[in-house]
Structure 1
Amino acid sequence: MVVLVAVLLIGACTAPAPPVPLSPQVTAPGAPTTVLPSDDPVELAVATSAALYATAPVVVLTAAGDEAGQAPATAVAERIGAPLLLTPADGDAAGVRAELSRLGARTVLAVDDGAAHWASAADGSAEIVTDEAALPAVTAPPRRQSVLVLAQDSPAQAAATATARASGAEVVVVPGADPRRAPEPPRRPEHVLALGSAFGTSDVLDRRLAVAATGVQLPGGGQVLFPGRRMVALYGHPGAPALGVLGEQGVEESVKRAQSLAAEYQPLLGEPVVPAFEVITTVADSGPGPDGDYSSESSVADLRPWVDAARGAGVYVVLDLQPGRSDFLTQARRYEELLAQPHVGLALDPEWRLAPQQRHRTQIGSVGVDEINSVITWLADLTRDRVLPQKLLMVHQFRLSMISGREKLDTSRDELGVILHADGFGTPDLKLQTWATLHEAQPSGVHWGWKNFYDEDRPMFTPAQTMAVGPEAPVFVSFQ
Structure 2
Amino acid sequence: MKRSTWLPAATALTFISAFVFNGCKPGTRGVAAEVQAAPFTKHDTDTAQPPVAPAAAVLDTALYDAKLKYMANGDTSGRWPVKTDYPLPGAVLPFKRVLAFYGNLYSTKMGILGELPEKDMLAKLQEEVKNWHAADTSMEVVPALHYIAVTAQGSAGADGKYRLRMPHKEIDKILVMAEKINALVFIDIQVGLSNLQAEVPQLEKYLKMPHVHLGIDPEFSMKTGKKPGSVIGSFDAADINYTTEYLAKLVKENNLPPKMLVVHRFTRPMVTNYKNIKLRPETQIIMDMDGWGAQARKISTYRSFLYPEPVQYTGFKLFYKNDFREKGSRIMTPAEVLKLKPQPVYIQYQ
Q: TM-score, normalised by structure 2?
A: 0.72
> For residues 5-404 of structure 1, what are the structure 2 equivalents within 5 Å?
175-176=60-61, 208=88, 223-269=90-136, 270-404=138-272
- Per the alignment, do residues 173 and 250 of structure 1 end up closer, same or farther by CA in structure 2, a change over 3 Å counting? closer
Name the SS of the counterpart of 1:334 in structure 2. Answer: helix
* Distance in structure 1 (CA, Å) of the matches to 2:234 and 2:264: 11
Q: 1:336 to 1:178 in 2, by over 3 A?
A: farther
The answer to whether the aligner puts 1:472 opposite 2:335 as a matched pair is: no
Q: Any idea what SS the aligned residue of 1:243 has?
A: coil
User: Displacement, 1:241?
Assistant: 0.9
Call closer, same or farther: CA 1:239–1:329 in 2, change over 3 Å: same
Provide closer, same or farther for how the CA distance between residues 359 and 409 of structure 1 changes in structure 2, counting only shifts above 3 A. Answer: same
Q: What is the CA-CA distance between 1:177 and the residue it aligns to?
A: 6.5
| 1:403-451 per-position Cα deviation (integer Å, ceiling 9, x unaligned) | 111121112x11111100001111111111100111354244x110000
Describe the shift of the 1:232–1:178 C-alpha distance in structure 2 as closer, same or farther (beyond 3 A).
Answer: closer
Residue 456 (1) aligns with residue 326 (2): no
Alignment-mate amino acid for residue 317 of structure 2: K
Offset of residue 239 of structure 1: 3.1
Partner of 2:302: helix, strand, or coil? helix
1:420, 1:449 within 8 Å by CA — same for their partners in 2?
Answer: yes
**What SS class does the counterpart of residue 315 from structure 2 fall into?**
strand
How far residue 255 of structure 1 moved from its aligned partner, in angstroms, is 2.4
- Which runs of 4 or more aligned residues in structure 1 lie more than 2 Å from their structure 2 counterparts after TM superposition? 172-175, 249-257
Match of 2:71 in 1: none
Cα distance in 1 for partners of 2:269, 2:283 equals: 24
- What is aligned with 1:447? 313
Q: Is the 8 A contact 1:251 1:306 kept in 2?
A: no
CA contact (8 A) 2:262 2:287 kept: yes
Which amino acid in structure 1 is aligned with residue 314 of structure 2?
W
Match of 1:428 in 2: 295
The structure showing larger relative contact order (alpha-carbon pairs under 8 Å, at least 6 residues apart) is 2
Query: Deviation at 1:235?
Result: 0.9
Cα deviation per residue 1:314-373 (whole Å; 9 max; x = unaligned)? 111111111100012321111111111111100110000012520122111112211111
Q: Could you tell me whether the CA contact under 8 Å between 1:425 and 1:453 is conserved in 2?
A: yes
Q: Distance in 1 between matches of 2:84 and 2:124?
A: 39
Say whether the 8 Å CA contact 1:400–1:438 is kept in structure 2: yes
Structure of higher CA gyration radius: 1
What count of residue pairs does the alignment treat as equivalent?
270
Paired letter, 2:191: P
Residue ranges of structure 1 left out of the alignment (5+ in a row)? 1-171, 180-197, 213-222
Change over 3 Å in CA distance of 1:311–1:284 after alignment to 2: same
Q: Which residue of 2 aligns with 1:22?
A: none
Contact 1:383–1:390 (CA under 8 A) maintained in structure 2: yes
Report the CA distance between 1:173 and its aligned residue. Answer: 9.5
**Contact map agreement 2:146 2:187 (CA 8 A) in 1:** yes
Q: Cα–Cα, structure 1 residues 227 and 451, in superposed 2: closer, same or farther, change >3 Å?
A: same
Map Cα deviations across residues 261-291 of structure 1 (whole Å, 9 max, x no partner).
Answer: 1111111221210111111111110001122
Indicate conservation of the 8 Å contact 1:342/1:388, yes or no.
yes
- 3-state SS of 1:303 partner: helix
Q: Describe the SS at the equivalent of 2:322.
A: coil
CA RMSD, Structure 1 to Structure 2 (Å): 2.4
Take 2:188 and 2:301, find their aligned partners in 1: how far apart are those partners? Answer: 21
Contact 1:425-1:456 at 8 Å conserved across structures: yes
> 1:353 is aligned with what amino acid?
S
1:282–1:298 Cα contact (<8 Å) kept: yes
For residue 312 of structure 1, report the CA deviation from its aligned partner.
Answer: 4.2
Could you say if the C-alpha distance between residues 324 and 199 of structure 1 is closer, same or farther in structure 2, counting changes exceeding 3 Å?
closer
Q: Distance in 2 between matches of 1:339 and 1:251?
A: 23
Residue 309 of structure 2 aligns to a residue in which SS? coil
Structure number having the greater helix percentage: 1
Give the 3 Å change call, closer, same or farther, for CA 301–177 of structure 1 in structure 2.
same
The Cα shift of 1:225 comes to 1.3
8 Å Cα contact 1:255-1:315 kept in structure 2? no
- Matched residue SS, 2:233: coil
In the TM superposition, what is the alpha-carbon distance from 1:233 to its structure 2 partner? 1.1
**Structure 2 unmatched ranges of 5 or more:** 1-56, 65-82, 324-328
| The one of 280, 304, 316 aligned to 1:437 | 304
